[in-house]
Amino acid sequence: MIEDNIVTITKKIILSSPKPIDKEEFLKKITEFAEKLIEFLIANGCEKLGHIKFISTTDGEDYLQVSVFNLDEKPSIKGVLRKTFSKVNTTLNIIEFGVEKENISKKIDEEIADIETYFK
């Protein structure tokens, strides 16, 4: 039964950089992150996707949401962030059916490490 295979994961990501982060560059990297997760889920037998959401804020006043609701679609983008910033808080939330939690967590941790290295 598909409900028995439900996996939910929430991760907090705090990126800070000694040089200003451009919102377009950040958006590009978060979108790539989402696309890599989609590829991973498809390759590892995801039966159904509830959602993948990245919600980012620089100071609590602005926010950017990158969402995926279907494995066949590109991520949708809603909201705005300021043009440049030195710190951004992002919450990643995934609900999916079929891929083991440990496998997804490992992939997410790898992608978080990559994005942190990129912005340092």
pLDDT tens digits, one per residue of 69-82? 999 999 999 998 99
Q: What is the mean pLDDT of residues 82-103?
A: 94
Q: Spelled out in words, what is the top-level CATH class assigned to the domain 2-119?
A: alpha beta
Which pLDDT score is estimated for 3? 58
Cα–Cα nearest to 10, from 81, 90, 79: 90
1 has a pLDDT exceeding 50: no
Question: What are the structural domain ranges in the chain?
Answer: 2-119
pLDDT at 5: 81
Residues 87 and 82: their CA atoms lie apart, in Å, by: 11
Cβ contact 51:68 at 8 Å: yes
pLDDT band at 90 (very low <50, low <70, confident <90, very high): very high
Provide, rounded to the nearest whole percent, the portion of the chain with pLDDT above 70.
97
Which residue type, as a one-letter code, is found at position 12?
K
Give the SS3 label for residue 26. Answer: helix
**Which DSSP symbol is given to 74?**
P
Question: Does the structure show a pLDDT above 50 at 37?
Answer: yes
**Where residue 59 falls among pLDDT bands split at 50, 70, 90?**
confident
What's the pLDDT tens digit per position in 18-30?
889 999 999 999 9
| E strand residue ranges, 23-109 | 48-57, 63-68, 76-80, 84-97
